[in-house]
Structure 1
Amino acid sequence: MTVTAGTTADPVELLSPELVADPFAGYARLREQAPTLTGAMLGGPPMWLVTRYDDVRRVLTDPRFLNNPASVPNAPAVRTTIMKQLNIPSDLVDYLDDKLMQIDGDHHRRLRGLVSRAFTARRVAALRPRVEKITAELLDRLAARARDGKPVDLMESFCYPLPFTVICEMVGIDEADREPWYEWGNCLGSPTEHRERIPTVMRECVDHMLEVIARRRTDPRDDLITALVQAQEDNGDRLTDQEMVTLVFTLVITGHETTTQLLATAVLTLLDNPGQLALLRDEPARWPQAVHELMRLGPTQWGMPRYPSEDVELGGTTIPAGATILPLILPANTDPRRFEDPERLDIGRDHGSGGQDHLGFGRGAHYCLGRPLALQEAEVALHALFARFPDLALAVEREQISWVLRPGVTRCERLPLRLVPPSRITPTQTGLHR
């Protein structure tokens, strides 16, 4: 029977400590409670949470579900409410809009087409030697630090610097300019913890990016910022400075955050599953497939909100046009209706051609542009890490691993490991060169 959507007395709080501490159990309870539920975040208006695989995939792929609420009559002002909650100055609000994710139609295709030049299969494949070199250098530093037997924080020493360095080089953030980006990303990515700092941090970031763009106009490089500047100069209506700032900020922050957390959650998952890790050591050709499985169980908890352009039925509930719908990725990726024994790591699980089965990178028109790079980085990094340090182990009890309150992402705060420093192994010896 179809029911008409309404709001419940107790909406699910998406940033509750319970969901942060144990997202698998928490989201599984929500998924089995109902296909659709009401929820809220950061004091915003209620939204509809979609919990099951088939419905989530439909929300991600059906063109009736739009990303831009301004395109839908009666859509709630979720963005405006959250910006007010975070005290964002009015002149900076537009810079926080993720234009690649929060627009639709021709405008989205225009921006995506410009940015996609940096993520073609050819360009990503050409980056592999550089990814391997950065990985080897970071592992050398880890080995040097581990000689005294003290634990190392893999988050700080490996999971963060690898994808951050790669995306900065691609986009065009010079090494001398990178230090503040960690603070900016951490502050804006954890808004409930850094509410008072956000306005200042946002202004610092915008001013910095405008300066970098101005620099590339006089000093062009082989990077994405230069390509965006040249596209603007070739045709002045193609890209505004504000769009460029927002795109670069989005790419740098999102271009490393998911991969950083994928590496961390993957290390924990593999240490929890020694049999699967042993299989990867014996058959390293399985790593590409394993990374897809690790991403299925990985850091992405939910996607961007969508707004139906007309009344739609999801899970037996009629949701009115303009309502806010949040597709929950983690419960969809562990839905027993779609995956057998869904919370078990199975590196042999078939995810279809190119890993099209799981929803860890989204689906549809807003499918993650950086997916090929993230998969490559994870494959190279995880293979090399476990080959270089075959006896690595947690330096604390598993339940002592702490998690950070970060919207939409399972974020490990610290990952203390003990490493047994072996002799140096090069990327070629670990089989990373194909």
Structure 2
Amino acid sequence: MEEQPVLIDPLGRDLHGEADRIRGLGATATLVELPAGIHAWYVSEFEVLKQLLRNPRVSKDPRKHWPPWQRGEFHETWVATWVSVTNMLTSYGEDHKRLRKLVAPAFTARRTAAMLPQVERITEELLDAMAREAADSGTLDLRAFYAHPLPMNVICELFGVPEDQRPELKRLMVAVFDTTLTVEQAQQTGMDIHTAFSALVETKRKEPGDDLTSLLVSARDDEGARLNEKELLDTLLLMIGAGHETTVNLIGNAVHALLTHPEQLQLVRDGKATWDDVIEETLRWAPSIANLPLRYAVEEIKLPDGTTIRQGDAILSTIASANRDPDKYGETAAVFDITRPATEHLAFGHGVHFCMGAPLARMEARTALPALFERFPRLALAVPEDEVAQVASLISFGHETLPVRPLG
């Protein structure tokens, strides 16, 4: 790669501004430098990224298709947590089909629908806790009290995670999305993840239950040729990590969007738009995952503008940028508008790697949002909008805290 790469902010302090600047360079794809000196292609156009996401000449397996990884580079950096794992996220071809088939029973429409009573119960418990806290202090952090514990508790119940193991998993999920980790921190995080998920697997081997961890452990122990131990641990990391982080940000981003765009909230209250409209526009306008590492060109790929992605080059899934592409959404691409006619987005990916937990995430948000605004109809931000800090990450797109006043 002779082209001089554009440096990307590892803290993600201005994800959309950065996307606009890169789009302004005029190329369909721009070479960028990620933390630790990783070079990757940043795709600015919605349709081009969509085509790459479903292109069989694009892989997610660094062991087969990313030369720097094969040479031993970046193994002790932040990206290792994302590319060293062996699960659906980093598999290709037949391996991906095998692993996805094993996990698919966990996210059937029937099983997702069966989770609704649990989601409703957890929602009500958290709203009650918010009301008690608000009565004492007047303000609270919506992320800490609601947006984070709701999907975390749901996914932990789905996977049968014991109460005493949940705090450590919660801590590790934060670390996984931190793109500023030092080498030592990244190494420690990797070891801690292995320890935590090994403990969960051992618990389910001793005391299996009607949960998805037990289901996967059974697939490993009864039919070991279909799922080895590393695949088992890494699949649990993917399911529990992705299964909660995306929904945490979806709920938090939707609440923030509505509180800063009260006219949009009024459309829902007046029956002129639905909560589904809110959810889909939030997923487009503020996707839970801004940039997802990494994919690799299996062979040379020429883009419509003549840009060549060479065999072995890394590609960043630039979801936040693509979801505000003016060529797709027009001059109002950067505007939060729940009446927008073009609802297609890439927040859950596209193609064979489309997120199978998307129906569960939507169901949780569809439960959480109306319940929150019904319980606290005068909910408001407790600080000026410019004081609501984003999570420091080029991957995760959400708020570090979301201070609110839960007014009835």
TM-score, with length taken from structure 1: 0.87
User: How many residue pairs end up in the alignment?
Assistant: 404
| Residues 282-311 of structure 1: CA deviation (Å, up to 9, x unaligned) | 228711232111111123212332212221
Superposition pairs for residues 370-389 of structure 1, below 5 Å?
370-389=357-376
Which of residues 67, 73, 83 is equivalent to 1:81? 73
Q: What SS does structure 2 have at the residue aligned with 1:47?
A: strand
Find the counterpart in structure 2 of residue 427 from structure 1: none
Q: Is residue 15 from structure 1 mapped to residue 9 from structure 2 by the alignment?
A: yes
Which of residues 290, 298, 302 is equivalent to 1:301? 290
From the superposition, tell whether residues 195 and 139 of structure 1 become closer, same or farther in structure 2 (CA, over 3 Å).
Answer: farther
Partners of 1:168 and 1:213 in 2: CA distance: 13
Whether the 8 Å contact between 2:220 and 2:232 is mirrored in structure 1 is: no
Find the counterpart in structure 2 of residue 106 from structure 1: 94
Whether the 8 Å contact between 1:59 and 1:65 is mirrored in structure 2 is: yes
Superposition pairs for residues 48-127 of structure 1, below 5 Å?
48-72=41-65, 75-77=67-69, 80-85=72-77, 96-97=84-85, 99-127=87-115
Percent of paired sites with the same residue = 34
| Residues 56-86 of structure 1: CA deviation (Å, up to 9, x unaligned) | 00110111111113333x7332894333235
Partners of 1:271 and 1:228 in 2: CA distance: 41
From the superposition, tell whether residues 284 and 198 of structure 1 become closer, same or farther in structure 2 (CA, over 3 Å).
Answer: farther
Q: Is residue 187 from structure 1 mapped to residue 161 from structure 2 by the alignment?
A: no
Is the deviation greater in 229-238 or in 325-334? 229-238
Which of residues 325, 328, 344 is equivalent to 2:318? 328
Report how far residue 98 of structure 1 moved: 5.1
Partners of 1:197 and 1:336 in 2: CA distance: 39
Q: Is residue 46 from structure 1 mapped to residue 36 from structure 2 by the alignment?
A: no
Find the counterpart in structure 2 of residue 426 from structure 1: none
Partners of 1:285 and 1:94 in 2: CA distance: 37
Q: What SS does structure 2 have at the residue aligned with 1:27?
A: helix
1:313 maps to amino acid: K
Find the counterpart in structure 2 of residue 3 from structure 1: none
Q: What stretches of structure 2 of length at least 5 have no aligned partner?
A: none
Q: Is residue 178 from structure 1 mapped to residue 176 from structure 2 by the alignment?
A: no
Superposition pairs for residues 3-402 of structure 1, below 5 Å?
6-9=1-4, 11-17=5-11, 20-33=12-25, 34-72=27-65, 75-77=67-69, 80-85=72-77, 96-97=84-85, 99-193=87-181, 195-283=183-271, 286-298=274-286, 299-314=288-303, 315-340=305-330, 341-351=332-342, 357-402=344-389
Whether the 8 Å contact between 2:83 and 2:294 is mirrored in structure 1 is: no
Partners of 1:139 and 1:249 in 2: CA distance: 28
Partners of 1:187 and 1:273 in 2: CA distance: 31
Partners of 2:352 and 2:127 in 1: CA distance: 37
1:395 maps to amino acid: A
Whether the 8 Å contact between 1:287 and 1:379 is mirrored in structure 2 is: yes
Partners of 2:125 and 2:87 in 1: CA distance: 35
Report how far residue 16 of structure 1 moved: 4.3
Partners of 2:3 and 2:147 in 1: CA distance: 40
Report how far residue 217 of structure 1 moved: 2.2
Q: What SS does structure 2 have at the residue aligned with 1:21?
A: coil
From the superposition, tell whether residues 8 and 94 of structure 1 become closer, same or farther in structure 2 (CA, over 3 Å).
Answer: closer
Is the deviation greater in 264-273 or in 182-191? 182-191
Is the deviation greater in 106-115 or in 234-243? 234-243
| Residues 100-150 of structure 1: CA deviation (Å, up to 9, x unaligned) | 111111111111111111111111111111111111110111011111452
Partners of 1:221 and 1:372 in 2: CA distance: 24
Q: What stretches of structure 1 of length at least 5 have no aligned partner?
A: 1-5, 423-434
From the superposition, tell whether residues 98 and 276 of structure 1 become closer, same or farther in structure 2 (CA, over 3 Å).
Answer: farther
Report how far residue 320 of structure 1 moved: 1.3
Whether the 8 Å contact between 1:64 and 1:309 is mirrored in structure 2 is: yes
Partners of 1:408 and 1:78 in 2: CA distance: 23
Partners of 1:383 and 1:186 in 2: CA distance: 27
The Cα RMSD (Å) is 2.3
Runs ≥4 in structure 1, deviation > 4 angstroms? 93-96
Report how far residue 417 of structure 1 moved: 0.5
Whether the 8 Å contact between 2:61 and 2:92 is mirrored in structure 1 is: yes
Whether the 8 Å contact between 2:10 and 2:393 is mirrored in structure 1 is: no
| Residues 9-39 of structure 1: CA deviation (Å, up to 9, x unaligned) | 3x2233345xx22222221221232211111
1:402 maps to amino acid: A
Whether the 8 Å contact between 2:246 and 2:289 is mirrored in structure 1 is: yes
2:291 maps to amino acid: W
Whether the 8 Å contact between 1:276 and 1:346 is mirrored in structure 2 is: yes
Partners of 2:79 and 2:353 in 1: CA distance: 28
Is the deviation greater in 27-36 or in 276-285? 276-285
Report how far residue 205 of structure 1 moved: 2.9
Is the deviation greater in 249-258 or in 296-305? 296-305
Partners of 1:125 and 1:346 in 2: CA distance: 29
Partners of 1:173 and 1:379 in 2: CA distance: 24
Q: Is residue 414 from structure 1 mapped to residue 406 from structure 2 by the alignment?
A: no
TM-score, with length taken from structure 2: 0.92
Partners of 1:97 and 1:87 in 2: CA distance: 10
Q: What SS does structure 1 have at the residue aligned with 2:308?
A: strand
Partners of 2:258 and 2:220 in 1: CA distance: 45
Q: What SS does structure 2 have at the residue aligned with 1:39?
A: strand
Q: What SS does structure 1 have at the residue aligned with 2:74?
A: helix
